[in-house]
């Protein structure tokens, strides 16, 4: 058997352009973080969650979802594991996204509610920044009471992504005699 000479393939660097990524998507090789049609169309008072993908369980349980959020109620809840928020906006107009987050973990927060010791200072309402490398990509730790909120007026849903375990549940937080509202 004779060895064939090595043939060198020389690659020229090209810019990452819209056309280049459209070609990669057309070949089903990549998927950009662009809102799903369902998420964009989340009606006022609704949340629409579209699964972008879920991994094969043999490699570990993980999924990416695209969330269209258009609700103006505060309904704190917790997850039993971490989830990653990815706040990317491709230039589309959308309503503001406000993250409601308790400053105590679930156990302490619910105990404070039970003991009538909660105060508005125990909960933050943060207007989220999109496309900011320091503020738009973060992990919400397990058992952190939180939820999203937006204004009630008509308008396009706020769309964002969440990467999380593929089979993660959600549990409402017990507020006792408290209700929570937001002034925007």
Give the model confidence (pLDDT) of 153-178 as tens digits.
999 999 999 999 998 999 999 999 99
d(CA 149, CA 108): 23
Q: pLDDT digit string (tens) for 1-33?
A: 778 888 887 889 888 888 999 999 999 888 888
143 burial via Cβ count (<10 Å: 0-12, 13-18, 19+): middle
Distance from C-alpha of 75 to C-alpha of 150, rounded to nearest angstrom: 12
β-strand pairing of 137-140 with 63-70 = unpaired
DSSP state of 97: -
Whether domain 35-172 has CATH 3.40.228.10? no
Task: Tell me the domain boundaries of the chain.
Answer: 35-172
């Amino acid at each position: 058997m004779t060895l064939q000479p090595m043939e060198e393939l020389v690659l020229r660097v090209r810019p990452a352009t819209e056309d280049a990524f459209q070609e990669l998507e057309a070949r089903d090789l990549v998927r950009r973080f662009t809102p799903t049609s369902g998420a964009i169309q989340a009606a006022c008072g609704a949340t629409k969650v579209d699964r972008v993908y879920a991994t094969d369980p043999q490699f570990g349980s993980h999924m990416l979802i695209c969330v269209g959020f258009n609700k103006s109620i505060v309904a704190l809840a917790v997850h039993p594991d971490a989830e990653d928020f990815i706040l990317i906006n491709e230039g589309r107009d959308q309503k503001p996204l406000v993250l409601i987050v308790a400053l105590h973990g679930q156990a302490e927060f619910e105990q404070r509610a039970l003991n009538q010791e909660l105060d508005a200072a125990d909960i933050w309402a943060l207007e989220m920044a999109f496309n900011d490398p320091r503020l738009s990509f973060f992990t919400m730790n397990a058992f952190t009471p939180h939820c999203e909120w937006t204004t009630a007026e008509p308008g396009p849903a706020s769309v964002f992504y969440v990467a999380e375990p593929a089979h993660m549940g959600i549990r409402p937080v017990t507020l006792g005699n408290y209700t929570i509202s937001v002034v925007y």
